[in-house]
Amino acid sequence: MTSSGLLSLAEEVGAAWAPRAAEYDRTAAFPQADMDDLRSSGLLGLLVPDRLGGMGAGFEDYVRVAVRLARSSGASALLFNMHASVTGALARVPDDLVRALGAPQSFLATRDEVLERAVAGAMYGVAISEIGAGPRLSALQTYYRKEDGKYRIRGRKSTCSGAGHLDAYLVAARDAAVPEEGSPRISYFLVPNADIGDVEQRWDPLGMRGTASNGFTIDACVDEAALLGVEGIALLLAHAMPEWLVASYAAVYVGVAQAAIAAAAAYVGAALVREPANEGPAREVGLGSSPWVRQRLGRADAQVEAARLAVEEAGRQVDANPGDAETSRAVYRAKLLAGDTAFEVAASLAEACGLGALMRGSDLERILRDARSGAVMPPSSDIAANVLGAAVLGTDPGVGLGARPW
């Protein structure tokens, strides 16, 4: 499908999502109707190659689609982002690299099967984060060991968007056979929904509520085919090709920032203020006639457009030069700019509009809360900035006073 065809599809799905966003935010429930729309649109196969029946899109197209979807519902777009990061990574990590790393030929067949299932409507999630470790792969405490030709995975994941509602989850776990003091071997497994344990029902956060990002326990024996690629691939990919852990979120927060501008413009366009009577009677004027309000909208417009261009540029570089050091920098810049911009813009516009736009149920109030999560999601803005700062200095971001990025 052409880029403009994909955007029209995203426009259609987004239009269906928009009226439901407030209610999913209120209940913090899994947005089943939104995900059904996604499924029937075919967008679950967006990043799956044509040869497997998918739409064959690259990262730049993903960025455009995700930005559009997030304008209607940041939370539902975040669920789509998790699915896209699994299917995108599987589809686009080069076969040669996978073979060079020692993955068996059977992995390529399994990978194709997983991608074909996405085209048929299967939806995937990501379960990396743990209490105490956050998203830092090297600090994970979910372990796996080989038992009778299978992998036994045991541990607890703190946050997984869509937990209990999806078909399978990319679970990151640490090889129990490697001594604690050695370099950790972290691997990815695709674990079916039936194999995850009790899903907690504690998700009640400030924003991005309609993602149902509950934690779960896991104590499962999965087939060898559940191993994605080779053992130890997780840290390697995080350092060499961070786009699938980093940049897919960035697109979502650009869409959230655009939604903040749209919500503020709608509010300002309808709001009246009384001009103080210096001479003659007081009169009501539109809030939009205030240069103080307009300059905030203008700054927001420039900031969000800059973030959008940075995220699209990162997408272009991921498509053209995956694994390149400059591509990684573009990816970290995109995440940092998008996460920070979304909240800065939403907060500034909330100030411009005033309390009327911050009452429960107002679009801007929800978007402001959603935008707060951007800088927190991995890698946090602080960590992304540390990686970029180290690159400026030509040093290793994992060395020194800061935490390792992964």
Task: Give the contacts of 70 (CB within 8 A, at least 6 positions apart).
Answer: 77, 78, 251, 252, 253, 254, 255, 256, 258, 259
Output b/e per residue, 29-45; b: 16+ Cβ within 10 A.
ebbeebbebbbeebbbb
The span of 33-41, 120-128, 220-228, 283-291 binding ligand FAD (CB under 6 A) equals 120-128
| Residue with smaller CB distance to ligand FAD, 125 or 322 | 125
**What is the distance between the alpha carbons of residues 28 and 370, in angstroms, rounded to a whole number?**
12
Does 125 bind ligand FAD (CB under 6 A)? Our answer is yes
Pick between residue 341 and residue 380 the one whose CB is nearest to ligand FAD.
380
Output the smallest distance, CB 98 to ligand FAD, in A: 23
- Rule CB under 6 A: is residue 129 a binding residue for ligand FAD? yes
Residue 380 binds ligand FAD, judged by CB under 6 A: yes
Q: Does 193 bind ligand FAD (CB under 6 A)?
A: no
376 binds ligand FAD, rule: CB under 6 A: yes
Q: What is the smallest separation between the CB atom of 209 and ligand FAD, expressed in angstroms? A: 8
Q: Does 82 participate in binding ligand FAD (rule CB under 6 A)?
A: yes
> Which string of b and e fits 329-367 if b means at least 16 CB within 10 Å?
bbbbbbbbbbbbbbbbbbebbbebbeeebeeeebbbbbb
**Binding piece for ligand FAD, criterion CB under 6 A, among 111-119, 155-163, 227-235, 267-275:** 155-163
Query: In the complex, which residue's CB is closest to ligand FAD?
Result: 134
Q: For residues 339 and 332, is the Cβ–Cβ distance under 8 A?
A: no
Report the C-alpha gap between 330 and 334 in whole angstroms. 6
Tell me: does residue 210 bind ligand FAD (CB under 6 A): no
Size, binding site for ligand FAD by CB under 6 A: 22
How far apart (Å, rounded) are the C-alpha atoms in residues 251 and 213? 19
Which member of 73, 110, 193, 211 binds ligand FAD (CB under 6 A)?
211
Cα within 13 Å of Cα(304), Cβ side: 27
Rule CB under 6 A: is residue 161 a binding residue for ligand FAD? yes
Please identify, among the stretches 33-41, 128-136, 273-281, 297-305, the one whose residues bind ligand FAD according to the rule CB under 6 A. 128-136
Tokens found for residue 196: 């995850």
For residue 160, state whether it binds ligand FAD (rule: CB under 6 A): yes
Nearest CB to ligand FAD, comparing residues 127 and 263: 127
Q: How far is CA 102 from CA 96, 99, 231, 303, 323, in A?
A: 10, 5, 9, 44, 18
Binding site for ligand FAD (CB under 6 A): 78, 82, 125-129, 134-135, 159-161, 208, 211, 213, 373, 376-378, 380, 382, 403
